[in-house]
Amino acid sequence: MKTDLELKELVKQKYSEIALQDKSENSASCCGAGECSTEVYNIMSDSYETLEGYNPEADLGLGCGLPTAHAMIKEGNTVIDLGSGAGNDCFVARAQTGEKGKVIGIDFTPIMIEKARENAEKMGFNNVEFRLGDIEKLPITSNVADVIVSNCVLNLVPNKKGVFQEIFRVLKPDGHFSISDVVLIGDLPPELTQQAEMYAGCVSGAIQKETYLELIHESGFVDIKIQKEKPIHLPDDILKNYLNTAALALFKTSNIGIFSITVFAKKPSNCIPGNGCC
């Protein structure tokens, strides 16, 4: 089993490669990693094309939901996107928060930050910025964000509890998040969990759904609710790269479920800076 540091370096390497791939290649695989499927298109991601602020050049097809569509962003809000990639969710958020608001994208892959900054420059956005940083230790001061969004990123982070604690720290009292992510019901076969491509592909790094929600609760959030949930069906032509015929048949008849969920939660309004909860 790889260490947390090794897993993070794996993700950084994979997503540096993914940044240079075509969107269709990313969308036909698991978050852009591993082999592509010829059976279906958009295995995990939903379409952003109807959302105001959508920029095709910033959409790498790496998501598993539409968190900015559920995030209830208001004009003038400060919004932070964790794992911002080429800037897709940031630009949708910017359309909602307007010129009076501010949007900050955080990503730990330099080439993604470069692509996002180029896209923002092309559109002339001076209230959207991108910072190189680790979402386990956000390069942002406490109590500044009205809304935090993230799309299919936390499953790539070994220390998920640490990320939720950082989200809690950075949100203002009564601020909230809307996060799309991959979760499990049941245990994946070891042939999948041990594969680097499946980790970078958002699947083997996913944890149990109930554990995921409990981590949010333990971090101090309230009003936790699932805004959207959908099953993810991995095509046979991807699974066959990792599972033999018998293992594939067993997996398909098991009760194991892989789901994309979009989760909302709020930082309590009585969490006043200086009283120890922030």
pLDDT digits (tens, 9 = 90+) for 167-196: 999 999 999 999 999 898 888 777 776 665
pLDDT of residue 238: 74
Task: Tell me the domain boundaries of the chain.
Answer: 4-266
Q: Stretch 89-106: mean pLDDT, rounded?
A: 97
pLDDT digits (tens, 9 = 90+) for 131-179: 999 999 999 999 999 999 999 899 888 899 999 999 999 999 999 999 9
pLDDT of residue 126: 92
* pLDDT level of residue 68 (50, 70, 90 thresholds): very high
pLDDT digits (tens, 9 = 90+) for 241-277: 777 888 778 878 787 888 899 999 999 997 655 444 5
**Does residue 59 carry a pLDDT above 90?**
no
pLDDT of residue 213: 97
Q: Which CATH architecture has domain 4-266?
A: 3-Layer(aba) Sandwich (3.40)
**Does residue 34 carry a pLDDT above 60?**
no
Q: Stretch 90-98: mean pLDDT, rounded?
A: 97
How many other C-beta atoms can be found within 10 angstroms of the C-beta atom of residue 260?
23
**Does residue 52 carry a pLDDT above 50?**
yes
What pTM was estimated for this model as a whole?
A: 0.85
pLDDT of residue 218: 96
